[in-house]
Amino acid sequence: MDDDNDQEHLIEDDYYTFLNIPRNATQEEINYAYRRQSKLYHPDKHVDPVLKKEAEILFNRTKAAYKVLSNPHQRAIYDSVGIRGLQTEGWEIVERTKTPQEIREEYEYLAKEAEERKLLRLTNPTTSITMNINATDLFNRYDKDYEDSRDILSCIEVSGMSFTQSIEAPLTLQDIITMYGQLSTRNGIGSGSIHIAAKRLLSSKGWIELEVGAGNGPTISFKGFRLLPHKLMFNGATVLEFTPVEIKASLVGTLTMQLDTHTIGELTYNAGSESSMSTGIVRDTDRSYTSFSIHLGIIRSFISFNYVYKMHEKEMKLRGSVKAGTFGLVVEYGAEKKISRHTRLSATVSAGVPTGVMLKLKLNRSFQTYAFPIHLSDEVLPATVFYATVVPIMTWVILKKIVIDPMVKKREEREKEKEKEVNKTRMMEKQKEAESATKLMKATVSRIRATEESKKGLIISKALYGRFVYPQQDQYNSDQRPIHRDEVIDVTIPLQCLVKDSKLILYDASKSELPGFYDPCVGEEKQLLIQYLFRNQTHECIVKDNAPVRIPLPSHRVNTT
């Protein structure tokens, strides 16, 4: 397990960045980059024994990058999963496929098989706990004497609780057994059920499932899924429920159609004692999720609208929904925040007639879900809605400041230290290699600089790469001494060496893999500062580590007056 964790933190070579070519580079671009870099690092170009040995290391790296990227099969695998893909068992089979696209598909199949083999040795337990809380007495009290005789805690009671546990156990690559049970109690009355389902994957286009259960009565259901032509999908289920009085049968079918890249339409029909029909449309994009549906049934009918705004930069989602029908009207709004890699916290306020006001809190952690629906009032009272909205926000702000932020910071620091430790030896080698590359570039850089000076072209006067600390970011200890400092390296020579025809182009990847570069601060955010002359005028720019660079640009000109 530790070895797998180390592999996740291990930094791999980026062949594209090392040759300074885009990921969609043509064979001609790859050949040109290889020839240019080979001239720079070929051992025969250097007489000094020390430089000759250092050049041989860099020349071998250049050959390794060219060998992979110039081979369509190896390049397809490298593009999919990196260097580790080239070492995967069974890749010799992949190499014999006809096209790079088939290579990618074949490798994905091999990788999926490896994951499935791991899956066969595991079970996937999931747990869901729901605690219903009744706090209506906080806002609806009978008289003053009664109010004085009770404290706040006595006004809050647990009105119900439910517990659900499921275990998924793969038997073969196509067969999966799922067992799940549910226990619940409501106002002192309890109930429970247990179910066993067997699913078989028929192909990539369909599956079938048989499920039996026992609780309030035996149940048997048969479910299936099929991918149809013309971007259609069908999902159906037949359910038989046995009671002491009768046998209830129902048939549910859902037809889904892909309308465009982000939009699907659904049509569902339920035939049984509670017959109904519903239709809806769902649009899911990178920034938002929108759904609208109409439900017509014997017991109740309604229309609903849901909207989710996704704030990826803050790892947060804002939600809102409206549902109106024969049962009444319900309006909900709330937010979901990602606290850590596997943990999400959400809070939703529900206000409606005749349901009243409810605050729903939910915590999702890996395969566990904890839900706390808190019933605040039977009527929509302004005070109840206000407290249901403000109290969670204030609680979150305090918890975030006192508990969550320090915890996240400590975890990030541990991750950085882990990454630094795993890559410590590698970074020392990369630093030595970068210093060697810079020495080998000096003669070439002198020629490039002389050529650029003669035509008043692009001269890199200063270039720094790494972590910059600005005055407003400085933190001080008790002695008023800065804790943080710049962690940068000088990359003036390596950048000048990449200048061609008075232009410098770097692509959208970490600059640490460029020849003459290395990572001076593993795990930290890095930037590249470039000061240069073009047509005898001073220019300056600073870009993020993974941002592309194209200079010269008029916007980089410095006003020397």
CA distance 198 to 399: 43
CA distance 2 to 12: 18
Residue with tokens 């990921």: 23
The pLDDT score that the predictor gives to residue 328 is 93
- Provide CB contacts within 8 A for 350, sequence distance 6+: 330, 331, 332, 357, 358, 359, 360
**Cα 303 from chain centroid?**
32
332 Cβ contact partners less than 8 Å away, ≥ 6 residues apart: 319, 320, 321, 322, 323, 348, 349, 350, 351
SS3 150: coil
CA distance 440 to 446: 11
Picking from 466, 451, 561, the residue whose alpha carbon sits closest to that of residue 519 is: 466
Instruction: Domain ranges for the chain, please list them.
Output: 6-84, 125-139+160-379, 413-560
Question: How far is it, in rounded angstroms, from Cα 363 to Cα 336?
Answer: 10
The kind and range of the H/E element at 137 are none
At CB < 8 A and 24+ separation, what contacts does 243-247 make? 243/216, 243/217, 244/217
User: Which amino acid does the sequence have at 432?
Assistant: K
Token pair 């043509």: residue: 26
pLDDT at 96: 47
Q: What DSSP designation does 400 have?
A: I
Class of the CATH domain delimited by 6-84: mainly alpha
pLDDT, residue 145, reads 47
What are the two backbone dihedrals, phi and then psi, of residue 8, each rounded to the nearest 5 degrees?
Answer: -65, -35
What tokens does 403 get?
């508990």
pLDDT of the residue at 470: 64
Q: How far apart are CA 455 and CA 444, in angstroms?
A: 17
The amino acid sitting at 19 is L
CB 546, CB 561: distance < 8 Å = no
Following CA atoms 306, 311, 391, 130 in sequence, which dihedral angle do they give, to the nearest 10 degrees?
60
488-510: b (≥16 Cβ within 10 Å) or e: bbebbbbbbbbbeebebebbebe
Task: Considering the domain delimited by 125-139+160-379, tell me its CATH architecture.
Answer: Beta Barrel (2.40)
Mean pLDDT, each 10-residue run in order, the chain (561 residues) = 50 84 90 89 82 86 90 79 62 50 63 59 76 83 51 76 88 85 85 92 90 90 92 93 86 93 93 90 94 93 96 91 95 91 90 93 89 92 90 88 83 77 78 89 90 93 87 49 69 93 91 89 88 93 92 87 52
Q: Tokens 């499935």, residue?
A: 116
Of 113, 122, 233, the C-alpha closest to 174 is 113
Phi first, then psi, for residue 207 (nearest 5°) are -155, 160
- Cα 273 to Cα 97, 230, 270: the distances in Å are 55, 33, 9
Contacts of residues 401-408 at CB distance under 8 Å and 24 or more positions apart, as own/partner, are: 404/339, 408/339, 408/340
Tokens 């996937």: give the residue: 124
